[in-house]
Structure 1
Amino acid sequence: MDSEKIIGVILAILLPPLAVFMKVGTTTPLWINIICCIFFWFPGILHALYVVLSDNY
Structure 2
Amino acid sequence: MELLKIIAAIILPPVGVFLQVGIGKHFWLNILLTILGYIPGIVHAIWVIAKNK
Q: Percent identity?
A: 38
Q: Which has the larger radius of gyration?
A: 1
Deviation at 1:55, TM superposition (A): 2.7
TM-score normalised by the chain length of structure 2: 0.92
- Computed over aligned residues only, the root mean square deviation of the Cα atoms, in angstroms, reads 1.1
For 1:35 and 1:55, locate their aligned partners in 2 and report how far apart those are by CA, in whole Å.
20
Higher helix share: 2
Deviant stretches of 4+, over 4 Å: none
The alignment's TM-score, normalised by the length of structure 1, stands at 0.87
Across the two proteins, how many residue pairs are aligned to each other?
53
Flag structure 1 segments of 5+ consecutive residues without an equivalent. none
Structure 2 stretches lacking a partner, 5+ long: none
